[in-house]
Amino acid sequence: MGKNKLKRFAENAEFEHVFQPAFEEVSQDAFPLKGHWADFFGNVNPITLELACGRGEYSVGLAELYPQRNFVGMDVKGARLWRGARTAHERNWKHVAFVRQHIGQLHRIFSLADAIDEVWIVFPDPQLRDSKSAKRLTSPRFLSTYRRCLAPTVRMHLKTDSKELFEFTLETIEQQKLKVFHSIPDVHAAWPNHPELGIRTFYESMWLEQGRTIYYLCFELGTEPCG
């Protein structure tokens, strides 16, 4: 393991706003902040959750735009989320936190009591092979996972350079009869000055230089479909 990774892991362990619950704690549903995130933030402001946050660039970007909201980035890779955690630490932000854990354990980290009202999924792995479609973060399987701890009114934001993932998500939305707020096949052409969608991650900047199109969807999580 490289020295940089070890250094980042050590810093994550020291940050008061980074949580890395052990397997035993999660498996026993004993994570103390579940249902009590307001205690950590010291307020009952709504929470924006970024799933598969990577370097936390979107959590940080949104937190800068909306200091009156709370933000939690979640990713299984500690060396990645360190960057966002470090930025929040350097800026002394109290409205940003990060969780190192698998997204499949989301319901053991949060509950309906935690006032999450929107979720961002930004440039996730599109899992393009058909055999891996259940691993896509907007698949029916993952939507069911989210519904275990999030309200039906939660707004889901997907930003991706994958046309395949964009179309797959649209199909899922249609099958589950979910409410769509925005479906944009070229977000930077349609909304070039949108503050939230104008946040650029490292990879997005690189892909835009390569001429790739960026897709955007916003839809309501909804309830589990019947039948």
Annotation marks residue 125 as catalytic: yes
pLDDT on residue 203? 86
- The DSSP 8-state label assigned to residue 113 in this structure reads G
Order across the sheet with 96-100: list the strands: 18-19, 96-100, 70-75, 47-51, 116-122, 155-160, 215-220, 180-184
Reading the block at residue 148, the tokens are 């275990």
Residues of the chain falling short of pLDDT 70: 1, 227
> Whole-prediction pTM value?
0.95
pLDDT on residue 227? 62
Question: Which domains are present in the chain?
Answer: 3-220 (3.40.50.150)
Span 114-159, pLDDT tens digits:
989 999 999 999 999 989 999 999 999 999 999 999 999 999 999 9
- The DSSP 8-state label assigned to residue 59 in this structure reads H
pLDDT on residue 3? 72
List all residues 6 or more positions away from 58 whose beta carbon is below 8 Å from its beta carbon.
50, 73, 120, 122, 199, 201
The single residue of 29, 39, 114, 125 carrying the catalytic annotation is: 125
pLDDT on residue 23? 87
Give the integer Cα–Cα distance in Å for 133 and 192: 31
Percent of the chain past pLDDT 90, that is, above it, reads 90
What are the φ/ψ torsions at residue 50 (nearest 5 degrees)? -110, 120
Span 76-91, pLDDT tens digits:
999 999 999 999 999 9
